[in-house]
Amino acid sequence: METIGIIDYGSGNIHSATKAFETAAKDINKEVRVIRVSKADCVIDCDRIVLPGVGSFGDCKTGIDQVDDLYQTINMKVKDYSTPFLGICVGMQLLADLGTEGGETKGFGWIKGTVEKIPSKEGIKIPHMGWNEVHFSKDHKIIDSLRNVQEGMVAYFVHSYHFQLNDEENLLGYCDYGTKITAIIEKNNIIGCQFHPEKSQKIGLKFIKNFLNWNI
- Indicate which residues carry an active-site annotation: 89, 196, 198
Residue type, 195: F
Given the DSSP bridges, would you call strands 154-159 and 128-133 parallel, antiparallel or unpaired?
Answer: antiparallel
